[in-house]
């Protein structure tokens, strides 16, 4: 038999009779509950299940049966249709990102990140190049999920055109189930071949090792439900086993491997060494410039052009570089309620249980609004790198993940502006001492601030790598000379205004 696509393997006539079904289900249910409990206790991973397939393939029935066999308290089912106004005002992936489950939990998606692509392709609205681009981005997204501890289960339930027609007819005949058949479902009968071909293409291009597709023949309901449950069971068991093996390997490696100092590295040219930190503004000039640029920014953010865009400002810099004071001058131009300031500290337990970018996706602004990040997602390649809080392979792959994240933002009309406020070590020391002597600023200085001064060179190298790896055309870095606070604040305001003007705001 010749197989032209993954879907051909789901047209072989698989069935499960009542006797076999009755024998298989009890031990399967017991194993599922035990595996789910082990996942919850170990928090080995979070599980995301994508339920895909043509209309009337039985997706909702299969999920209902799965929920009856598992503990539904730790499962979230998401039926996403066309995006609402809140979702349309943000990047397309935003509504999926915010629903990612914590480790130990399961999320099931009916509508998912493949749905619109398959629909557009089946209607001839997506050419080969656009399809390849969209799916390549999804492959990178799913690679990131896998690296961040998300077990992705992609299930496609497949039925023939004849079976689809019979099921839709049966649903329409019964008054109690007629509501389940949409006009689009009925129209899909005429488009079956185009839809099938679109599924075949998408599955072939996204059937990868870290996120493979499982195509299940859904002609027979009993076979469908059992096969879906067996796939979920397999995933739950694998993830718990993988975590146990990883823990054992970590202990063995720590016990067996002697401490070997890293080889000496040649001194690298710092990107911050190119800045002229002597730049300054007199108080009188500062007051005049501040009034001008704050006024201009206020008008730009109220313009009709900006209402079709959003703005994300990310501020980074060494301790006492002046991020807080600069943010206050920027925020002073904005209407309350149309902006928010997000101050990033160490992640909470809720955030640690999800991919590291999750806590930033939650704060992405809608069109016409602004989010200001006081420290940002760059903590992964700065403090987490320097302090050894994240394994080397994790912070190194974060560069690509951050670039994808920012590209997703800019493609949706979000302007991403990233600022590094630069000061010298001597100026930092002066500001530290000034804070210690001021009753109103003593809270700003902590033992960690003093400790971090001892790692100035390491942070300098991390900043150089960060700028080199994440300075892109759509989201460039602005390195701001902030030795003089007045100069730094005006430089930031001017940069924001100029970028907004380039975008027609």
Question: Six-digit token pair at 161?
Answer: 């055109």
Question: Six-digit token pair at 310?
Answer: 């959003």
269: number of Cβ within 10 Å: 8
| Alpha carbon of residue 400 to chain centroid | 12
Quote the CA–CA distance of 194 and 199 in Å, as a whole number: 9
Quote the CA–CA distance of 447 and 99 in Å, as a whole number: 37
pLDDT at 70: 96
Sequential DSSP letters for 348-392: PHHHHTS-TTHHHHTTPPPTT-EEEEES-GGGGGTHHHHTT-S-H
Helix (H, G, I), strand (E, B) or coil at 58: coil
**Parallel, antiparallel or unpaired: strands 414-422 and 213-217:** unpaired
pLDDT at 52: 95
Q: Which residues of the chain have pLDDT under 50?
A: 1-3, 250-251, 253-257, 259-264
Q: What is the dihedral of CA 192, 198, 201, 204, to 10 degrees?
A: -70
Quote the CA–CA distance of 309 and 311 in Å, as a whole number: 7
Predicted TM-score of the model (pTM): 0.88
| Alpha carbon of residue 355 to chain centroid | 7
Is-contact 150 353, C-beta < 8 A?
no
pLDDT at 131: 96
List strand residue ranges (DSSP E) for 294-350, in order.
310-317, 339-343
Of 492, 484, 473, 90, which Cα lies nearest the Cα of 297? 492
Is-contact 68 62, C-beta < 8 A?
no
The values of phi and psi at residue 14, to 5°, are: -65, 135
Identify the sign of the CA torsion 121, 123, 125, 127: positive
Quote the CA–CA distance of 325 and 304 in Å, as a whole number: 29
Question: Six-digit token pair at 439?
Answer: 């009753």
Identify the sign of the CA torsion 86, 90, 92, 97: negative
The DSSP secondary-structure symbol of 274 reads G
Domains of the chain: 6-244 (3.40.50.300), 271-502 (3.40.50.300)
pLDDT at 441: 65
Of 327, 335, 409, which Cα lies nearest the Cα of 374? 327
Burial call 373-382: b when 16+ CB within 10 Å, e when fewer: bbbbbbbbbb
pLDDT at 173: 87
**Parallel, antiparallel or unpaired: strands 339-343 and 150-158:** unpaired
Quote the CA–CA distance of 465 and 463 in Å, as a whole number: 5
Quote the CA–CA distance of 243 and 43 in Å, as a whole number: 9
Of 100, 58, 422, which Cα lies nearest the Cα of 228? 58
Sequential DSSP letters for 135-156: HHHHHHHHHHHHHTTEEEEEEE
Rounded to a whole number, what is the distance in angstroms from the first to the last CA of the chain?
A: 60
Quote the CA–CA distance of 88 and 250 in Å, as a whole number: 44
pLDDT digits (tens, 9 = 90+) for 153-191: 999 999 999 989 998 898 888 888 888 888 888 888 899
Q: Where are the alpha helices (DSSP H) in 216-303?
A: 221-256, 283-302
The strand pairing partners of 310, in sequence order, are: 414
The strand pairing partners of 52, in sequence order, are: 156
Quote the CA–CA distance of 45 and 434 in Å, as a whole number: 47
pLDDT at 138: 96
pLDDT at 249: 52
**Parallel, antiparallel or unpaired: strands 106-109 and 75-78:** parallel
């Amino acid at each position: 038999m010749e197989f032209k696509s993954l879907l051909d393997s789901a047209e072989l006539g698989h069935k499960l009779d009542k006797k076999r079904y009755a024998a298989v289900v009890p031990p399967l249910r017991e194993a599922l509950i035990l595996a789910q409990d082990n996942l919850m206790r170990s928090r080995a991973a979070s599980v995301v299940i994508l339920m895909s397939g043509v209309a009337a393939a039985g997706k909702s029935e299969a999920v209902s049966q799965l929920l009856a066999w598992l503990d539904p308290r730790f499962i979230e089912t998401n039926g996403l249709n066309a995006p609402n106004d809140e979702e349309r005002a943000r990047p397309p992936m935003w509504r999926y990102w915010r629903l990612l489950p914590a480790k130990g939990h399961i999320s099931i998606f009916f509508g998912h990140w493949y749905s619109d692509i398959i629909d557009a392709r089946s209607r001839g609205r997506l050419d080969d190049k656009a399809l390849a681009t969209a799916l390549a981005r999804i492959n990178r997204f799913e690679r990131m999920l896998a690296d961040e501890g998300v077990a992705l289960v992609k299930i496609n339930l497949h039925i023939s055109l004849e079976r689809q027609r019979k099921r839709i007819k049966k649903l329409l005949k019964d008054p109690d189930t007629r509501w389940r058949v949409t006009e689009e479902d009925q129209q899909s009968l005429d488009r079956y071949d185009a839809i099938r071909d679109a599924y075949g293409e998408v599955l072939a291009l996204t059937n990868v090792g870290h996120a493979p597709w499982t195509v299940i023949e859904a002609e027979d309901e009993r076979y469908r439900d059992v096969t879906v449950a067996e796939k979920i069971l397999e995933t739950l068991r694998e993830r718990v086993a993988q975590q146990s093996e990883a823990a054992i390997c970590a202990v063995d490696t720590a016990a067996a491997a002697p401490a070997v100092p890293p080889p000496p590295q040649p001194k690298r040219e710092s990107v911050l060494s190119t800045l002229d930190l002597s730049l300054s503004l007199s108080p009188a000039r500062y007051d005049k410039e501040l009034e001008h640029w704050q006024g201009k920014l206020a008008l730009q953010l109220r313009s009709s052009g900006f209402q079709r865009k959003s703005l994300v400002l990310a501020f980074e810099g060494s301790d006492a570089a002046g991020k807080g004071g600069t943010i206050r001058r920027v925020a002073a131009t904005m209407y309350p309620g149309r902006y928010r300031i997000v101050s990033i500290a160490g992640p909470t337990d809720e955030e640690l249980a999800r991919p590291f970018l999750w806590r930033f996706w939650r704060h992405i602004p809608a069109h016409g609004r602004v989010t200001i990040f006081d420290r940002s997602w760059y903590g992964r390649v700065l403090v987490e790198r320097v302090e050894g809080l994240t394994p080397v392979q994790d912070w190194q792959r974060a560069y690509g993940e951050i670039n994808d994240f920012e590209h997703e933002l800019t493609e949706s009309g979000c302007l991403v502006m990233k600022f590094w406020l630069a000061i010298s070590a001597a100026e930092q020391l002066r500001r530290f001492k000034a804070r210690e002597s001021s009753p109103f600023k003593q809270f700003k200085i902590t033992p960690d601030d003093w400790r971090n001064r001892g790692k100035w060179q390491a942070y300098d190298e991390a900043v150089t790598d960060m700028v080199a790896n994440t300075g892109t055309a759509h989201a460039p870095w602005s390195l701001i000379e902030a030795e003089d606070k007045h100069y730094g604040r005006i430089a930031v305001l001017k940069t924001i205004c100029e970028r907004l003007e380039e975008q027609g705001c």
